[in-house]
Structure 1
Amino acid sequence: MQVERMDIERLDVERLDPVAGRILDAALQQFTRCGLRRSTVDDVARRAKVSRVTVYRRFGSKESLVASCLLRESRRFLAVLDAAVAELPSIEERVAEGFAVTLRHIRSHPLMGGLLRLEPDVVLPFLTVDGGPVLVAVRDHVAERLRREGVGGAGNGGPGGAEAATVAELMVRVVVSFLLTPASCIELDDADRARDFAHRFLVPLLGHH
């Protein structure tokens, strides 16, 4: 599936359009049950009880529909992630717990986990920076949280100003790598091992802050 570079704001049509929300609900059901390759815009339209023209008017293409669906699920996940780490006392613990929660949540997610297991080559373009709205949205979210913690701030000894985005992208890319290729000499099958890995290899990216 060829994915062009996508504007995240253009994909976020659900907030202003309840019909688009219904279409995305139908797309989630369709893609979860049948995958991306076997699903068509007509399939989604039938589930949503709208015409295929209505789907195309809202989303323009199957690729944009897929991207919008994945983006919405990613934003839902980010709310879960924020809640999971909110009460932890240090940024180091939040990074470690966030890494473990992310691996567990994505692997068990009916849509994202299923696509990563069964159609990794199809979903990969949506998870790359060059046009991948999912990775961009998650990276920006993590970067903003790091900035709130003082990571990348001037004079704190950590990564300089704009480098919070770089640290966030490195963290997200590590997660994507493990999700796409789970077979590894690095054991991350349980939460304790994932936290330990994050403390040893991701926390140092924060620098001294």
Structure 2
Amino acid sequence: MAARSADETLLARALVEIPPSDALNEQILDAAREQFVTFGLRRSTVDDVAKRAKVSRVTVYRRIGNKDGLVSACLLREYRRFVADVDEAVASLPTIEDRLVAGFVAVLKHIREHPLVGGLLRLEPETLLPFLTLESGPAFVAMREYLADRLRHAQRAEGRPETDPTPVAELMVRITVSFLLNPVSCFELDDDEQVGAFARRYLVPLLSVR
């Protein structure tokens, strides 16, 4: 349980920490990502990662840590990339409505297509599902607050009266997780255009709810 609690704080850390640039660390984390995508977490060892990275086991321990540290560092980097992708998708858009739609499209697309998340759901769903459901509290709150902060920033940029965007942000997170866990739906969400139309029809109106 302690290991899971630590992992659940990764997203919160990803939103505020800026890691130092280190080519060797990146080489090791690239190898770890490839290993975890291919074989999952349970079947992977520090030795496996070291071989892929073409470094010694001692180097992995010295630079990153044990297996738990390796998993945490790898996931933390993926979370940072996720945040950067969403920010880039909405940065140039002029209205909060456009940003909400583009942000929802980016969030759902990233999670659906992410090789590590998708790989873990396929190879060992029992490892990942708790973090998306019953034990996802801290990560859920961190993502909700991240999205709410971006919506709040858009309100200010347009000079709109500030309203609390937290409910809309929470619905975005909950809907995304729901579609990830169970893609069977009466909504057609097979491509970005359909996802965007869904967001514009069902999520954008929530911005006007007081």
Q: When the two structures are superposed, what TM-score results if normalisation uses the length of structure 2?
A: 0.74
The question of whether the paired residues in 1 share the 8 Å contact of 2:96 and 2:155 is answered with no
> Does 1:194 find its partner at 2:195?
yes
Change (3 A) 1:97 1:131: closer
How is 1:1-209 mapped onto 2 (pairs within 5 angstroms)? 3-6=4-7, 7-8=9-10, 9=13, 14-15=19-20, 17-127=22-132, 129-130=136-137, 132=139, 135=140, 138-150=143-155, 156=161, 158-159=163-164, 164-165=165-166, 167-207=168-208
Which sections of structure 1, spanning at least 5 residues, go unmatched?
none
Identity across the alignment (%): 55
Residue 3 of structure 1: CA displacement? Answer: 1.7
The question of whether the paired residues in 1 share the 8 Å contact of 2:38 and 2:119 is answered with no
Q: 1:198 is aligned with what amino acid?
A: A
Q: For the aligned residues, what is the CA RMSD?
A: 3.3
Change (3 A) 1:150 1:13: closer
Residue 27 of structure 1: CA displacement? Answer: 0.6
Following TM superposition, the consecutive aligned residue runs of length 4 or more in structure 1 with deviations greater than 6 angstroms are none
Change (3 A) 1:122 1:82: same
Residue 43 of structure 1: CA displacement? Answer: 0.9
Which sections of structure 2, spanning at least 5 residues, go unmatched?
none
Q: 1:172 is aligned with what amino acid?
A: V
Q: 1:189 is aligned with what amino acid?
A: D
C-alpha deviations, 1:123-178, integer Å up to 9, x for none?
2344454354xx56544432321221238xxx93622xxxx455434322321221
Secondary structure of the residue aligned to 1:4 is: helix
The question of whether the paired residues in 2 share the 8 Å contact of 1:70 and 1:112 is answered with no
Q: How many residues align?
A: 200
Change (3 A) 1:46 1:171: same
